[in-house]
Amino acid sequence: MTDESGVTDHSLHNARVLISKYGIPTHIELVWDDDKWCLVKAEFRGYGEHVFTGFGWGYSGTGAVGLKRFLRLCKFNVKIDEIMKMRKRDPNPNVWIPKSLDEILS
């Protein structure tokens, strides 16, 4: 595992390592710490929780693109515009992505 320190490429590397070893996360939470920073918490069966620090969203930067790539690794089909809108809908979202992909994709 690589120290992420908010770097998108490092978070993607760690995501690939965890997914290859433990499978896609059973639960994902997108959390805003404040107006400038967000975290992605993912629960992996057999590993526990990992907090990714390099997937900032709500703007058109590498973090939002990284979040899209991470969600696609987890078998979600999302567009970058949808990720950017997440921040704009609610000034302080705690967006839980349900365990069931059917809930999201239906």
The chain-wide mean pLDDT, for the chain, equals 75
Residue 102 lies in a domain: no
In this prediction the pTM is: 0.71
**Residue 93 neighbours by CB distance under 10 Å:** 15
Residue 21 lies in a domain: yes
Using the predicted structure, report yes or no on whether residue 104 has a pLDDT greater than 80. no
**pLDDT tens column, 10-47:** 999 999 999 999 999 988 887 766 555 678 889 999 99
**pLDDT tens column, 40-90:** 889 999 999 999 988 876 555 677 788 888 988 988 776 656 655 555 444
State the residue range of the domain holding 58. Answer: 8-97
More confident residue, 100 or 82: 82
Residue 3 lies in a domain: no
**Count of domains observed in the chain:** 1
Using the predicted structure, report yes or no on whether residue 9 has a pLDDT greater than 80. yes
Using the predicted structure, report yes or no on whether residue 97 has a pLDDT greater than 50. no
Residue 31 lies in a domain: yes
Residue 34 lies in a domain: yes
Residue 106 lies in a domain: no
